[in-house]
Structure 1
């Protein structure tokens, strides 16, 4: 309890002494620990010699006449208001050199120096000396490529300044509606004077400049501005044609690109005109055979050109429509008869000129695979029917490419059944299966093609 009272009493008693102590310290160590009081009796520096650099200024002076009276030196620099401010303290009375750093290139600075007495007072300042920081000479940007794929190559002359440790590459952009240069890359050596700006737009021009950078991070003046340009895409392909008369294939051809750097073509297809197009093939020539292995398939095609730099042109304007040859028209059975256990029927000939023959399918019973007969005409008679068996017939067209139509509707006959139907085309005599007369052998004998399980 007594200790607490004593501490409380001392606290209030010490406050005035603590305040006086800090005021005294502020007077003695004000700004770098020196007094603001000027002592005319202290030795002065007659001449402050200055050597400017890009972002630094070096100082040199002679020792004063009586070094024993001083503890060091204070360096002053004039601020923008014309007032001198202390920027450094040199705590060695025998020192004759110092430097000020982190300055702005190409900027005027004014300096002065005073000695510091042993009691912290300072001498009158020396005669102010003005200097201007220097700059690193700009490099000469003398090459910007104009034909590289999605990139621009820049080459410049290496800086002659040995303090340069690398370069900053800037590209002009439009920012907030105004043109401005932004950093797009750097190099890390004075003699590395080449840079590739990548991932650019095709066929687009860009402006560049280069800035040298020293080991102290000082920057040179910008180089001259040079325009570079990326390579244009190959021209779109024109005059694409697609066939519609090939069995199970579509043949596509187009005009060869006039661009000598084009080395191949990409062929795209879609099942609809406005649909998404998928890559089908890459070919060296200006044609392609699409092997579909299907009949009557329709496709739309577009083609692009690809050059040696792997630049691909835009897809051709419009699309070429192609189609594999469809199956021939299915015959229509127009007459049928069953007389004396002989089944006969005929069919109309489709109008397609490409149809050259027909196949008649005969199925005996339910389980046996059908027999097939090649027929040149348009009628058929079957004399080899057996009692108790149901026979089913149909017919398909065959064109000159060997394409077979879908089978016609079926006819069913059975021995013992008698159906008489007047023929639609009586001028065409029916061909008869099983007729052994010499005349029948010449005119009506059918060639049995094969059975699925023969």
Structure 2
């Protein structure tokens, strides 16, 4: 607790001492002592620059003088004349003062008073001076146009060796004021590349030289830059709708003089997320797809040699692989002469053949599936059956491309030994006929357990 009290007292003491150390300022009711010496500037007592004014006066020998009050008038701004006191020099032996709060090409007036413990001298004569104008910028500047999303400006290095660098300023046609966008260090540096710009957009540039004492020159001449235009977008795109397990996409050729490659995009939804499929130099592409009746939307863009990509969100083409052929319709299933006879119908002109799939249990733990392919008619006879087993049959349509339809309904046949014998006996009583006519109503028919019609 004692330590905190000591710290607090010390802090308060420092604040008091700091307050006592403030510079003296003129008093409103100051006594004017005619005997106090006045400030006299030397023969070359003023030196002006664009951002600073230096003052030099003769040494004051009178020991009564404690310091000098400096008064400043901005002759270009009458409003500042209401408060003319500017600063205090606290030592009579000082003979120089530097004012860095100066604007270029501005007119200022200065006068002085010496002060003692109890009085002030008469004011000196007013000395007026004008600060130098800003330094001129570089004498030559040039722009490089049609660059991809960038602009380049070059200039002739400034001849003034006080220059330490250059401030780059930019504005667009839509903006009213210039913005500082970069500083290039080094007087002999002579180029700047602006990046991440908009495509086919106009920018204006200018530069200002920067000195070691942070004095900015006048702006340089303005230069204009138009960035490179994107490649022309692809508007004519077509996609096939009837090819087996592939979609062929075609589009118009690009007329870009620096064409590099086309990029093909694909999506399942016209307004969905498109993913890249391939880059190609051809104006067509075949998309291989392992699905029948699959739909995709396609878009195509153009890249030029600067890797600028055209707009590709405005034009899409719908493509679709060839759909499956129609599924056969099961008509009936019979047992004739101990054989299973299946019949079906199908009106699809695309169908060239049929496949029959047979499934049964070989044992309690093992099942078997057999496929019978390239059946030309609309009937199938299976003689490889055994009594006491259950068989399941499905039929598929197949077109010229090998595309297989969805399966028909599955026929379930539970073959009993008596049924086989009965079908053989009934078949012997019927006159011999061709296999296509095995649909006589006198036959014993084993119907499926489910209604497949």
TM value normalised by structure 1: 0.72
Structure 1 pair 300/191, CA: closer, same or farther in 2 (3 Å)? same
Aligned-residue offset at 1:298: 0.9
Cα RMSD over matched residues? Answer: 3.9
The superposition leaves residues 91-126 of structure 1 with CA deviations (integer Å, 9 ceiling, x where unpaired) of: 46695x654323111112234567889997647635
1:234, 1:306 within 8 Å by CA — same for their partners in 2?
A: yes
Q: State how 1:35-50 maps to structure 2 within 5 Å.
A: 37-39=33-35, 44-45=40-41, 47-50=43-46
SS at match of 1:51: strand
2:113, 2:120 within 8 Å by CA — same for their partners in 1?
A: no
Structure 1 pair 341/117, CA: closer, same or farther in 2 (3 Å)? closer
Q: State how 1:51-70 maps to structure 2 within 5 Å.
A: 51-59=47-55
Q: Quick one: distance in 2 between partners of 1:260 and 1:407?
A: 54
Q: Quick one: distance in 2 between partners of 1:215 and 1:337?
A: 107
Question: Could you say which residue in structure 1 is the equivalent of 2:194?
Answer: 197
Structure 1 pair 56/329, CA: closer, same or farther in 2 (3 Å)? same
Q: Quick one: distance in 2 between partners of 1:216 and 1:35?
A: 41
Q: Quick one: distance in 1 between partners of 2:100 and 2:70?
A: 13
How many corresponding residue pairs? 392
Out of 67-76 and 265-274, give the one that drifted further: 67-76
Question: Could you say which residue in structure 2 is the equivalent of 1:298?
Answer: 295
Match 1:255 to one of 227, 252, 256: 252
Q: Confirm or deny that 1:78 pairs with 2:84.
A: no
Structure 1 pair 185/35, CA: closer, same or farther in 2 (3 Å)? farther
Q: Quick one: distance in 2 between partners of 1:122 and 1:174?
A: 59
Q: Quick one: distance in 2 between partners of 1:327 and 1:304?
A: 32
Q: State how 1:116-131 maps to structure 2 within 5 Å.
A: 122=121, 125-126=124-125, 128-131=127-130
Structure 1 pair 395/165, CA: closer, same or farther in 2 (3 Å)? same
Q: Quick one: distance in 1 between partners of 2:384 and 2:120?
A: 141
Gaps of 5+ in 1: 1-21, 421-426, 433-454
Q: State how 1:314-329 maps to structure 2 within 5 Å.
A: 314-329=311-326
Aligned-residue offset at 1:73: 7.1
Out of 298-307 and 156-165, give the one that drifted further: 156-165
TM value normalised by structure 2: 0.72
Question: Could you say which residue in structure 2 is the equivalent of 1:149?
Answer: 148
Structure 1 pair 325/122, CA: closer, same or farther in 2 (3 Å)? same
The superposition leaves residues 269-304 of structure 1 with CA deviations (integer Å, 9 ceiling, x where unpaired) of: 222223332333334433333232222111111122
Q: Quick one: distance in 2 between partners of 1:153 and 1:146?
A: 7
SS at match of 1:180: coil
Aligned-residue offset at 1:215: 1.9
1:335, 1:346 within 8 Å by CA — same for their partners in 2?
A: yes
